[in-house]
Amino acid sequence: MKTINVALIGQGFMGRTHSNAWGQVAKFFDPPLTPVMHTVFGQEAENPQAFADNWGWQNISTDWQSLVASPEIGLVDIVTPNFMHAPPAKAAIAAGKPVSCEKPIAGSLDDAREMAQAAKAAGVKTFVWYNYRRCPAVALARQLVADGKLGDIRHVRATYLQDWADESVPLAWRFDKNLAGSGAHGDLNAHIVDMTQFVTGQTITEIAGAIAETFIKQRKLMTGTVSGGIVAGLESSGDMGDVTVDDTVLFLARFSGGAVASFEAARQATGNQNRNAFEINGTKGSLKFQFERMNELEYYDATLTRAVQGWTTIMCTHGGDHPYVANWWPDAHLIGYEHGFVNEAYDILRVLGGLEPVVPLPNFEDAYQTQRVLEAVMISAEERRPVKLDEVK
């Protein structure tokens, strides 16, 4: 059996999801390469040995440069805070190694561009963990659009709403522009920009207008490190520090096929824990999806006679009909958040093994194009004007 040694650069919330994916993928799927959880990198303060022991990594490292360069490593997987995506990614590319990276691809557009250019010049395979593409319902939505079930797309509405970032949360790295690049925008809007372009098969060509707002200007300084979840286990001191990223960003956009769109990302939308949702309206039908009910897709078929038109809720867990589901549980035995990462790990291994993915995988160039959209939005918000994507290179 062919294997590939994986190095995980980083720990934290995303380190847990990726570790689970690499540990589970060969148990449920039959990939052409079997991943070996070889080494995890973490800073000494993060106690990488405890992380490795818990998640099944064979070795630890506190020196990512040596780890990335090691001839034993076949795939570098990056889950660090955004500002630290580019250095290990470019080092891995220079060493000729495939790289997978969390989203957004980088903390800045310049870093994203350099990463995409380096990967293209070196001819190495790259992957970005836009994991919501791997929900069977989202993959089905893309297929329905491609099959013409919606006709011409007219309207796209997308929201990603969370409520975890209230005043009690201290100044974690996600609230620091130098570390995160942006706030809810890069964290959440990045997902729905990728997902709506993926489902529609179209690209965003213009930002018609945008608003960015930071409601909580200061937070208590953080002590210690995250022990799990987005901000779980964080402790704070009595001192305060400035928040330098957005809490919410809303924008209007135009798609290449002529559709108009609205997007909204927020971390303080009370009552919405992880409401990642879209609605797409076409001339022949419409679709609705929201991640808090991730196993379902709503479909409206406007080609039926008016008497029987209505929203249909599709349970996307039929193993013979929906992507990935046959490898999990019997019909309507629901899957959850972590399964999207396992599904993506499978597709990455398929590509590295010379096969096509079940669902298209975004690479560094694709993620750079998404980063251009994010940059155009912030220009629009700051300058209070429309911005065409051609302006952002």
CATH of the domain at 278: 3.30.360.10
Mean pLDDT for 346-355 is: 98
287 pLDDT tier (thresholds 50, 70, 90): very high
- For the entire predicted model, the pTM comes to 0.94
Is residue 327 in a domain?
Answer: yes
Percent of the chain scored above 70 by pLDDT?
97
Number of structural domains (the chain) is 2
Strand, helix or coil at 250? strand
Considering the domain architecture, whether residues 36 and 166 belong to the same structural domain is answered as no
Q: How much is the mean pLDDT over the chain?
A: 95
Model confidence at 192, pLDDT cuts 50, 70, 90, reads very high
Q: Could you tell me which residue, 234 or 32, shows the higher pLDDT? A: 32
pLDDT band at 267 (very low <50, low <70, confident <90, very high): very high
Residue 196 and residue 298 share a domain: yes
Alpha-carbon dihedral 167, 173, 176, 178, rounded to 10 degrees: 180
What is the extent of the structural domain holding 75? 3-131
Q: Quick one: which of 43, 41, 31, 44 has its CA closest to 4?
A: 31
- For the cut 70, the answer to whether the pLDDT of residue 234 exceeds it is no
Q: Are residues 197 and 153 in the same domain?
A: yes
Same-domain status, 171 and 160: yes
Closest CA to 25 of 340, 313, 310, 355: 340
Examine the domain organization and report whether 144 and 126 are in the same domain: no
Provide the pLDDT confidence category of residue 225 given band limits of 50, 70 and 90: low
In 3D, which of 2, 6, 134 has the Cα closest to residue 78?
6
* Residue 289 maps to a domain: yes
pLDDT band per the 50, 70, 90 thresholds, residue 56: very high
pLDDT attached to residue 222: 84
Write down which residue in 73, 104, 131 finishes a domain. Answer: 131
Does residue 243 sit in the same domain as residue 323? yes
Same domain membership, residue 167 and residue 41 = no
Q: Is residue 353 part of a domain?
A: no
Whole-number Å distance between alpha carbons of 367 and 115:
10
Q: State how far the Cα of 48 lies from the Cα of 53, in Å rounded to an integer.
A: 9
Sorting pLDDT into bands at 50, 70 and 90, what band is 73?
A: very high
Same domain, 217 and 191: yes
pLDDT at res. 339: 98
* Domain edge (last residue) among 131, 160, 180: 131
Task: Please indicate, yes or no, if residue 350 is contained in any of the structural domains.
Answer: no
How would DSSP label each residue in 334-381?
Answer: ---HHHHHHHHHHHHHHHHTT---SSPPP-HHHHHHHHHHHHHHHHHH
pLDDT value of residue 226: 57
pLDDT at 184 over 90: yes
Are 151 and 37 part of one and the same domain? no
Q: Tell whether 365 is covered by a domain.
A: no
For 86-113, write each residue's pLDDT tens digit.
Answer: 999 999 999 999 999 999 999 999 999 9
Q: How many CB atoms lie within 10 A of CB 51?
A: 20
Residues 321 and 243 in one domain: yes
* CATH number of the domain within which 21 lies: 3.40.50.720
Q: Is the pLDDT of residue 227 over 70?
A: no
Whether residue 185 lies inside any domain: the answer is yes
pLDDT score of 41 more than 90:
yes
Is position 249 within any domain? yes
**Do 377 and 244 belong to one domain?**
yes
- Residue 360 included in any domain: no
User: What is the tens place of the pLDDT at every residue in 139-165?
Assistant: 999 999 999 999 999 999 999 999 999
DSSP state of 269: -
Q: Tell whether 243 and 322 lie within a shared domain.
A: yes
Question: Do 130 and 139 meet the contact criterion of CB atoms below 8 Å apart?
Answer: no
